Amino acid sequence: MKIENKNMIKEINVSTSHIEEIEMIMGPTPLGICRWGVTLITIIVGLVLVSTLFIQWPETLTIQSYIRITNDASEEFDMVIKLSAEQIKLIQEGINARISLNAKNQDWGEYHGKVTHIPVMTDSTKLYPVHICLNMYEKTDKGNASIADLVKMPCLIAHPMLETTVTITLSENYLLQRILKR
């Protein structure tokens, strides 16, 4: 049994001498604060990556357009915007659209609709009409007038063209999905 202990002591001494040689070549081992710093940075980067799984970052297409308000008795309002062939390739029927209406330098708020009709493209240089269906009686996010109320306003009867900003939601992806997609 004593012989085994002597062999173990020799092995320990040999490995200690190797450590000293390694330290001479590479330098001394870093202090504890350096090791903890690297660990802390790794944990922070890991938390940021995990958080991208829970942050929703929709991909959108925003277009400046004009629409004509007409007094129609139906429940829905069909809005037509003009898009290029390149923009049409990005959208599909049934996806959501947000429409911000502005008239006479007044912001009427934001309405929600769905893309209902996309034309067949024949020429990549032309603009094509895309239909977006809105509910006539839905109030805006600001609690302003519905489209049914807007069509009755005297200022809009005289000048029925409204400047709009249309934001079409292309996808409801999470941040990590968008990062990996590129």
Residues 25 and 177: their CA atoms lie apart, in Å, by: 45
pLDDT bracket for residue 15 (50, 70, 90): low
What is the model's pLDDT at position 1? 45
pLDDT at 72 over 70: no
Interior angle at CA 27, CA 22 and CA 29, nearest 5: 90
The residue to which tokens 């007094």 are assigned: 71
pLDDT in tens, 128-175: 888 888 776 776 666 566 767 766 666 666 666 677 788 888 888 888
Which one is predicted more confidently, 153 or 63?
A: 63
Q: Are 108 and 76 in contact (CB under 8 A)?
A: no
Which one is predicted more confidently, 139 or 179?
A: 179
C-alpha neighbours within 13 Å on the C-beta side of residue 16: 6
Of 41-55, 62-76, 89-103, the range with the lowest mean pLDDT is: 62-76
Q: Rounded mean pLDDT of 2-30?
A: 63
What is the model's pLDDT at position 47? 93
pLDDT in tens, 80-120: 888 888 888 888 888 888 887 766 566 777 778 888 888 88
Which one is predicted more confidently, 155 or 67?
A: 67
What is the model's pLDDT at position 41? 94
The amino acid occupying position 10 is K
DSSP assignment of 142-157: TS---HHHHTT-HHHH
Average pLDDT value for the chain: 75
pLDDT at 3 over 60: no
pTM: 0.59
From edge to edge, which strands make up the β-sheet containing 96-103?
59-68, 161-171, 96-103, 106-117, 127-135, 76-84
Helix (H, G, I), strand (E, B) or coil at 160: coil
